[in-house]
Amino acid sequence: MSMPAWRVMHSLTQDSDVADAKLPPGTTRRVLSYAAPFRRAIAGFLVLVVVDSLLIVAAPLLLARLVDNGIMPGDRRVVITLALIVAAIAVVAAVVAVVSRWFSARIGEGLIYHLRSEVFSHVVRQPIAFFTRAQTGALVTRLNSDVIGAQQAFTSVLSSVVSNVVSLALILTAMFTLSWKLTLAALALVPFFLLPARWMGHRLAALAHEQMSLNADLGSRMTERFNVGGALLVKLFGDLEREDREYAERASRVRDIGVKIAMNRTVLFVALTFVASLATAMVYGFGGVMAIDGTLTIGTLIALTALLARLYGPLTALSNARVDVMTALVSFTRVFEILDLKPSITQSPSAMPLPGGAVDVVFDHVGFAYPGADEVSLRSLEAGASGDRGRGSTVLQDISFHIAPGELVALVGPSGGGKTTITNLVARLYDPTSGAVRLQGLDLRDATLASVTGAVGVVTQESHLFHDTIRANLLYARADASEDAMRDALRAAQILPLIDALPQGLDTVVGDRGYRLSGGEKQRIAIARLLLKGPGLLVLDEATAHLDSESELAVQSALDSALAGRTALVIAHRLSTIRRADQILVVDKGRIVERGTHHELLGQGGLYEVLYRTQFQDDSAPVGG
Most trustworthy range by pLDDT among 32-46, 147-161, 436-450: 436-450
Assess whether pLDDT exceeds 50 at residue 12: no
pLDDT mean over 38-43: 87
Strands in 489-615 per DSSP E = 537-541, 567-571, 583-588, 591-596
Distance of alpha carbon 436 from alpha carbon 461, whole angstroms: 26
589 SS3 class: coil
Assess whether pLDDT exceeds 50 at residue 45: yes
Q: Report pLDDT for 445.
A: 94
Assess whether pLDDT exceeds 50 at residue 6: no
The alpha helices in 397-507, defined as continuous H runs, are 419-426, 449-455, 470-475, 483-492, 496-501
Could you tell me how far CA 237 lies from the centroid of its own chain?
32
- Long-range (24+ apart) CB contacts under 8 A made by 120-126 are 122/338, 122/339, 122/341, 122/343, 123/338, 125/343, 125/345, 126/341, 126/343, 126/376
Length of the chain: 625
Query: Is residue 562 classed exposed, middle or buried when 0-12, 13-18 and 19+ CB atoms within 10 A define those classes?
Result: buried
Strand pairing partners for 457? 538
Predicted confidence band of residue 284 (pLDDT cuts 50, 70, 90): confident
Q: Report pLDDT for 5.
A: 44
Q: Report pLDDT for 562.
A: 72
Q: Report pLDDT for 534.
A: 84
High-pLDDT (> 90) share of the chain, %: 16
Assess whether pLDDT exceeds 70 at residue 385: no
Distance of alpha carbon 398 from alpha carbon 410, whole angstroms: 18
Cα dihedral across residues 435, 437, 440, 446: positive or negative: negative
Assess whether pLDDT exceeds 50 at residue 3: no
Q: Report pLDDT for 209.
A: 66
Predicted confidence band of residue 2 (pLDDT cuts 50, 70, 90): very low
Assess whether pLDDT exceeds 50 at residue 9: no
Strands of the sheet with 537-541, listed across from one edge: 456-459, 537-541, 567-571, 408-412, 583-588, 591-596
504 SS3 class: coil
- More confidently predicted of 249 and 191: 249
pLDDT digits (tens, 9 = 90+) for 400-439: 999 999 898 999 988 888 998 999 999 998 999 999 999 9
> CA neighbours within 13 Å on the CB side: how many for 560?
11
Q: Report pLDDT for 548.
A: 59
Assess whether pLDDT exceeds 80 at residue 210: no
For 40, phi then psi, to 5°, come to -70, -40
pLDDT digits (tens, 9 = 90+) for 50-60: 898 888 888 88
Q: Report pLDDT for 188.
A: 82
The full DSSP string for 103-149 is: HHHHHHHHHHHHHHHHHHHHHHTS-HHHHHHS-HHHHHHIIIIIHHH
> Largest Cα–Cα distance of the chain, in whole Å?
121
pLDDT digits (tens, 9 = 90+) for 150-190: 777 667 777 778 888 888 888 889 888 888 888 888 888 77
Domains within the chain, CATH numbers bracketed: 8-339 (1.20.1560.10), 364-383+390-464+528-616 (3.40.50.300)
Q: Report pLDDT for 613.
A: 79
Assess whether pLDDT exceeds 70 at residue 253: yes
**Could you give the C-alpha distances from 341 to 149, 359, 556, in angstroms and in order?**
20, 33, 41
Distance of alpha carbon 37 from alpha carbon 42, whole angstroms: 10
Assess whether pLDDT exceeds 60 at residue 556: yes
Distance of alpha carbon 311 from alpha carbon 305, whole angstroms: 10
Assess whether pLDDT exceeds 50 at residue 8: no
Report yes or no: 458 and 541 within 8 Å, Cβ to Cβ: yes
Report yes or no: 327 and 145 within 8 Å, Cβ to Cβ: no
Nearest one of 431, 434, 435, 469 to 447, comparing CA atoms: 431
Q: Report pLDDT for 588.
A: 92
- Rg (alpha carbons) of the chain, rounded to whole number: 35
Predicted confidence band of residue 471 (pLDDT cuts 50, 70, 90): very high
Assess whether pLDDT exceeds 90 at residue 272: no
pTM of structure: 0.73
Instruction: Give the Cα-Cα-Cα angle 403, 409, 414 (nearest 5 degrees).
Output: 130
Report yes or no: 365 and 462 within 8 Å, Cβ to Cβ: no
Q: Rounded to a whole number, what is the distance in angstroms from the first to the last CA of the chain? A: 68
pLDDT digits (tens, 9 = 90+) for 504-541: 889 988 877 777 887 778 888 888 888 888 888 989 88
467: number of Cβ within 10 Å: 15
Q: Report pLDDT for 411.
A: 92
Q: Report pLDDT for 543.
A: 63
What is the chain's mean pLDDT, rounded? 81
Instruction: Give the Cα-Cα-Cα angle 348, 352, 353 (nearest 5 degrees).
Output: 125
Q: Report pLDDT for 352.
A: 94
Q: Report pLDDT for 549.
A: 62
Q: Report pLDDT for 98.
A: 92
Q: Report pLDDT for 512.
A: 73
pLDDT mean over 256-278: 81
Structure letter (DSSP) for residue 34: T
Distance of alpha carbon 409 from alpha carbon 239, whole angstroms: 48
Distance of alpha carbon 329 from alpha carbon 19, whole angstroms: 10
Q: Report pLDDT for 521.
A: 84
Q: Report pLDDT for 1.
A: 40
Q: Report pLDDT for 386.
A: 53
Report yes or no: 61 and 175 within 8 Å, Cβ to Cβ: no
Distance of alpha carbon 530 from alpha carbon 384, whole angstroms: 37
Q: Report pLDDT for 545.
A: 59
Q: Report pLDDT for 356.
A: 77
Distance of alpha carbon 38 from alpha carbon 34, whole angstroms: 8
- More confidently predicted of 184 and 615: 184
Q: Report pLDDT for 21.
A: 56
Q: Report pLDDT for 621.
A: 44
- More confidently predicted of 526 and 210: 526
439 SS3 class: strand
Strand pairing partners for 368? 396
